[in-house]
Structures are given as structure tokens and as C-alpha cells.
Amino acid sequence: MEVVILAAGQGKRMRSVLPKVLQPLAGRPLLAHVLASARALAARRICVVYGHGGEAVRTRLDAPDLVWVEQNPQLGTGHAVQQALPHLSDAGRTLVLYGDVPLIGASTLARLVEAAGRDRLALLTVELDEPSGYGRILRDAEGRVVRIVEEKDATGQERRVREVNTGILVAPTARLRDWLARIGNDNAQGEYYLTDIVGLAVEAGVEIATVSPETVAETLGVNSKTQLAALERVYQASIARRLMDDGVTLIDPARFDVRGELVCGRDVEIDVNCVFEGRVELGDGVVVGAHCVLCDVRIGAGSRVAPFSHLNGAVMGEACVVGPYARLRPGTALGNGVHVGNFVEIKNSRISDQSKANHLAYVGDADVGTRVNIGAGVITCNYDGVNKYRTEIGDDAFIGSDAQLVAPVRVGRGATLGAGTTLTRDAPPDQLTVSRARQQSYAGWKRPEKKN
Ligand code: UD1
Ligand code: CA
């Protein structure tokens, strides 16, 4: 089977410089969702019909299994499919999809393909309470489809039909080629309508099958930001339902967003307003507090992320406690039982088992051993304005509050740094290292007095 995806429409109502089919739904372009469904059917070839100025679409989504066909000017859906014909082989069947109908499901498509068999024309249709705007499916007294009439060409009587054309169909390719060569544009919009092939199929005695989708949302198109947001919620609700069916506790499934892939172990609990991006894996018993953003993160069993934390490109072992207000940046690897507290930022650093940085610290480009305590306000000065350097902290070291470790520098095992130390040379193991002006007190000193 071969697939043609119509994606040449400009999408003026999005009022955006970004082409419509690149607008994101769950963090991925609309067209990427359609491509995923097409690929799930193991299509032999996928032709994407794109419009003038659509180069950005091609640049963004190009792949070896795609054929890009420009349609310029855009003379209608029939004309759009015609542009792809040179790339289709007569022996097979063609599935037509829309680039702006993102939730179409692979299982609905599989049923449509099956209904088409080798030689039928199969249409995906739905019954709508509010059918205005859509092409209507007209049937004869026996219930056989005879034609599709577009809203703008329909009589008052025809407009009362509630069964509509979703636009998605499967046709034998040789027939499709023949029919498209014969359609005209003598209609209300002066366009070449793909829907006109239905009348030609009836004339040729080709059987027409209709299939309806599992959910109406699968067939909804996106023409505006309002419709985009509505489909986003539909999509998120389906992910939430799937996770809850697998035993995940979502405190409120309506305040939960996955923009990538979220994989959860048993007894995971996610509080409200969390966003998951890229690939996120949460081990058994992980708890994620409210208002967290996690992107490309792996969290071991029993770890907790407290509210308002932002974790990106980090790996965490078991039984860690992170946040509230923690920031883990790419290259962060926490061992087991590590504590990262409020307003602590960690980047490109390894923190080994049982170590803690509980308050207001920056740890960048560091290798921190086990059972290390990093005090409040500690900073690794990893950047000299040109180059980055590493800091090494040995097991059982104690870094006093407000210390600055000017990298490259090493703190030996069991070393203690006094509070406020600016460390510019290595601190030997098991010793106290302090760099600090001596404290003095002045007896008899008086505060200045206000002059008149
Ligand atoms: C089309 C159908 C209508 C159906 C409706 C479902 C026709 C004639 N009508 O109407 O029966 O109920 O979809 O939404 O087919 N496109 C191109 N090139 C073109 C024109 C359109 O690539 O020259 C693409 C658009 O980007 C879009 C899709 O085809 O993805 C449908 O186009 P649109 O203009 O929305 O079709 P409708 O007039 O709504
Ligand atoms: Ca439309």
C-alpha cells in the first residue's frame, strides 16, 4: 500500500509564520503524528503533498521513506492527489490522509484498508450532530453511497444529511489514476474535488465501502489555535487514561502533559501540572510533586521529586530526594540516596551515593564522591570566561557553606573546607582547609553618630 498525505493548505487561520502542519501537538508537528500512523501500517511509500513555502516542512521532517511533491498552485484536493500519481504504482492501493488531521489512529486505518480489499473504494465517514462545513455522504434507497456533495454545492435537503466525509479514503491506484484524469472543476469553489471520484466509482460499478472511526476526534482537522488546543486535550486525556489503566496515580488527569514518551513502573504518583518531555522513565514508587518539568530523565525506584523542580537530561538512582525548586541540567547523574534541595543547580556532574547538597548551591562539571555534604551557598567556579574545568570532591568530604571551589581543583577524601573558603589549590585529605581573613573584634569601638 502507498500513502498520500495532503499538506499543501496554508493554514491562514493559524496566523503564524510556522506552516500549519508543523504546529506542535504534544510537542510534535501535526504532520509527524500523521506520519507515525502511516508508518504503523507499513506503507511501501509515503508521498507528502506540500504547498508553496512549505520547504520548512520538508527540512524539518525529511526521512528516507518519504517522497515530497510540491503542489503549486493549489487547485483542490483532487489536484493535490494528482501531483503524487507519478510516484504511485498501479498494482497497489492508495490511502489518502490529511496532514492536519493528527489523531487518526492506525487501527482505524487498518480497518479502512481491510474494508477496501483489492478493488473497493473505502471511505472513512462519521455522523455529526453539527455537520456544517463538511462534504455530505449521499446514499440511495438501498443505503449504497452514490456521491459526495460539498457543503457549498449542496441543496438544503442534502445539507440535512449528518453523515460526512472525513476526506480519508483508500482506492485501487489504477482506478484512482483513471478517475482523477476525468474530474473537472465546474463547482461552487472552482476546485478539482477528490470527492468527485465517488460518483465515477459508482458509474464504473466499483463497490464502495464505508468505515467509521473508533472516536470522532480521530477525524478532526486543525484550522485554528482553538482547534489545536482542543485536540491537544483529547490527546493528553488518552495518554492519561492509558497510564491510569496501567496503575499510575494521576492526581488530576486534566492537569498533566506528556510531550514525548513517559514510561512508569508500579505505584508511581504524579501530582498536578507536571510536564514530561522527550523520554522520561520513572521507576517503581517514584513520586513527582506538583509543577515539575521533566525532560529526558530517568529516575530510580523510590525517589521523590518535590514541587517546582526542573529536570533535564538527568539520571537519578534509587531513593533520592530532589527539590522543591531543584534544577538538574544535562549530564547530571545522581547515585542512590542523594539529596538535592531547594535552589540547587547541578550540571554535567556525577554525585555519588548518599551525598547531599540541600540549599542554594551550584555544582557544575564536578565529580562528587559518596557521603559528601555540600553546604548552603557552595559554588563550583567551573568557568574562567573561556574554558570549563572540573572539580573533584572525594568521599566523605564536608564542604562548608558559601565555599567557592575554583576549578580545576580537588578536595581529598574526608577533607573539611571551612565556611567561606575560596579554594584555589587542592585540599588534602582528612584535613581542615580554610581560606578566610582572621576574625577580629574591636573593644571600645563606637558607631558613627548623625551630624547636624
Ligand atoms: C475536504 C473534503 C470534504 C471533507 C473535508 C473534511 C474535498 C473536495 N472536500 O473539504 O468532503 O468533508 O475535507 O475536512 O475533498 N489540500 C491540499 N491541496 C489543495 C487543497 C487542499 O493539499 O489544493 C489539503 C489541505 O491542506 C487539507 C486537506 O487537503 O489538509 C483538505 O483541504 P480543505 O481545504 O480543508 O478541504 P475542505 O474544503 O474542508
Ligand atoms: Ca477542512
Cα dist from 326 to 355, 381, 423, whole Å: 15, 19, 25
Considering 219, 253, 283, which residue would you say is the last residue of a domain? 219
119 CA distance to ligand 1 centroid (A)?
24
221 CA distance to ligand 2 centroid (A)?
6
Q: CATH number of the domain that 148 lies in? A: 3.90.550.10
Q: CATH number of the domain that 285 lies in? A: 2.160.10.10
**Is residue 440 included in any domain, yes or no?**
no
Q: Name the residue at shortest CA distance from atom 20 of ligand 1.
A: 76
pLDDT 10s per residue in the chain (452 long)?
999 999 998 788 999 999 999 999 999 999 999 999 999 998 989 999 999 778 999 999 999 999 999 999 999 999 999 999 999 999 999 999 999 999 999 999 999 999 999 999 999 999 999 999 999 999 999 999 999 999 999 999 999 999 999 999 999 999 999 999 999 999 999 999 999 999 999 999 999 999 999 999 999 999 999 999 999 999 999 999 999 999 999 999 999 999 999 999 999 999 999 999 999 999 999 999 999 999 999 999 999 999 999 999 999 999 999 999 999 999 999 999 999 999 999 999 999 999 999 999 999 999 999 999 999 999 999 999 999 999 999 999 999 999 999 999 999 999 999 999 999 999 999 999 999 999 999 999 999 999 98
Whether residue 179 is found in the same domain as residue 257: no
Tell which atom from ligand 1 comes closest to the C-alpha of 6: 22
Considering 190, 219, 248, which residue would you say is the last residue of a domain? 219
Whether residue 350 is found in the same domain as residue 285: yes
- Please give the positions annotated as active site: 359
Whether residue 386 is found in the same domain as residue 350: yes
Contact 287, 273 (CB under 8 A): no
Terminal-to-terminal C-alpha distance of the chain: 95
Whether residue 190 is found in the same domain as residue 297: no
**Is residue 283 included in any domain, yes or no?**
yes
**Is residue 249 included in any domain, yes or no?**
yes
**Is residue 141 included in any domain, yes or no?**
yes
**Is residue 450 included in any domain, yes or no?**
no
Question: Global pTM?
Answer: 0.93
**Is residue 447 included in any domain, yes or no?**
no
From 31, 69, 74, 77, give the residue whose CB has the most ligand 1 atoms within 8 Å, as the site to mutate.
77
pLDDT of the residue at 452: 87
Number of residues assigned to the chain = 452
Whether residue 314 is found in the same domain as residue 427: yes
Q: Compute the distance between CA of residue 150 and CA of residue 165 in angstroms, rounded to an integer.
A: 9
77 CA distance to ligand 2 centroid (A)?
10
For residues 194, 196, 198, 200, the Cα torsion angle rounded to the nearest 10 degrees is -120
**Is residue 448 included in any domain, yes or no?**
no
Ligand closest to 133 (CA) is 1
Q: Compute the distance between CA of residue 273 and CA of residue 235 in angstroms, rounded to an integer.
A: 16
Nearest-CA neighbor of 173 among 94, 247, 248? 94
Whether residue 20 is found in the same domain as residue 49: yes
For residue 27, report the phi and psi dihedrals to the nearest 5 degrees: 80, 0
71 CA distance to ligand 2 centroid (A)?
17
pLDDT of the residue at 53: 73
Tell which atom from ligand 1 comes closest to the C-alpha of 78: 15
Tell which atom from ligand 1 comes closest to the C-alpha of 9: 26
Kind plus residue range of the DSSP H or E element containing 337? none
Q: Name the residue at shortest CA distance from atom 21 of ligand 1.
A: 77
Whether residue 190 is found in the same domain as residue 230: no
Whether residue 263 is found in the same domain as residue 354: yes
pLDDT of the residue at 34: 98
Ligand closest to 168 (CA) is 1
Ligand 1: residues with CB < 6 A are 6-9, 49, 71, 74-77, 79-80, 98-100, 134-135, 148, 150, 164-167, 193-195, 221
Q: Name the residue at shortest CA distance from atom 17 of ligand 1.
A: 8
Domain that holds residue 275: 225-433
**Is residue 17 included in any domain, yes or no?**
yes
Beta-carbon neighbour count of residue 210 at 10 Å? Answer: 20
Whether residue 110 is found in the same domain as residue 201: yes
Considering 219, 251, 274, which residue would you say is the last residue of a domain? 219
Domain count, the chain: 2
Whether residue 156 is found in the same domain as residue 291: no
**What contacts 24+ positions apart, CB below 8 Å, involve 194-197?**
194/76, 194/77, 194/78, 194/80, 194/81, 194/96, 194/167, 194/169, 195/77, 195/78, 195/135, 195/148, 195/150, 195/165, 196/78, 196/148, 197/78, 197/121, 197/171
pLDDT of the residue at 10: 78
Whether residue 23 is found in the same domain as residue 111: yes
Q: Compute the distance between CA of residue 433 and CA of residue 452 in angstroms, rounded to an integer.
A: 48
Whether residue 211 is found in the same domain as residue 232: no
